[in-house]
A = this chain, B = another copy of it.
């Protein structure tokens, strides 16, 4: 039987590696399990129902490999499926939206906060929900940025084109006088220096960094949980498609050698359990 003593992280693909980088920095030595669902990436353009189904499977996979805690290393999943995941599993599930929201409230002085993210993240209004629950007076402005994640993974555009694309997405938020911007997708910190050059007065929030800090604080408070986590400085990487792109992005994000990556056929690993998790008819007719 597999021992549940690791920190599990999952993402739709490779973006969650930015969270891994911050975990290496804030929690050095802790054993990690990473799963990137590269066969079904991206999640951000898909429906809440489909994203939730994928997230349930991803979490279940990490538990099957020994995760004692799961961090959702994907803003889209955090935005649309956090509650369902918490409802379905008994281990602690940590999200990436709430840490970013708290930091944005600490940083803003004028109470006007901008959000950029995938279409699904923006549609979910989960940032608005948390921000207004913690601070009802805050004003929130959001804009989906469907080109930014593919651009971060394949950027051979000129600096001028990148700047123009960023301005197209950010100018409507800046016009509303935001002083703080949540980079609500793990790919977006890739553009931090360009955004800083365009808008030097904005506070930029990287939710992955905040999530790593929050986990560190949680483990300092909960010594019992901390004592159950293994600390052999060992990280295992799983992906659902061939690891070529994963390996490239890994070396761009993370300054640490990579020994191997494991490719998972999620259906085969999870098949016996799947039916219990997610009930559905196989074909549903929708009038339009």
Binding site for B on A (CB under 8 A): 38-41, 45-47, 49-50, 119, 146-147, 150-151, 153-154, 156-158, 160-161, 164-165, 168, 238, 240-245, 247, 258-265, 267-269, 271, 274, 280-288
Instruction: Please give, as numbers and ranges, the residues of chain B lying within 8 Å of A283 by CB-CB distance.
Output: 238, 262-265, 269
Kindly report which residue of chain B lies nearest to residue A274, judged by CB atoms. B267
- Asked, given contacts A150-B147, A157-B165, A242-B47, whether A269 binds B282 with beta carbons under 8 Å apart, the answer is yes
Copies per assembly: 2
Q: Is the interface of A mostly helix, strand, loop or mixed?
A: mixed
Residues A284 and B260 in contact, CB atoms below 8 Å apart? no
Return chain B residues, CB-CB under 8 Å to A39.
40, 46, 50
* Known A242-B49, A260-B286, A262-B286; contact A146-B157, beta-carbon cutoff 8 A: no
In addition to A161-B165, A262-B284, 11 A-B residue pairs with Cβ atoms within 8 Å of each other are A39-B50, A49-B241, A147-B151, A157-B164, A161-B168, A258-B288, A261-B286, A262-B283, A262-B286, A265-B282, A269-B283
Name the contact of A146 in the complex, choosing from B47, B153, B244, B264 (C-beta under 8 A): B153
Residue contact A45 to B242, C-beta cutoff 8 Å: no
Give the distance in Å from the alpha carbon of A242 to the alpha carbon of B260 in the complex.
Answer: 36
Which one of B150, B262, B282, B288 contacts A268 once the chains associate, using CB atoms below 8 Å?
B282
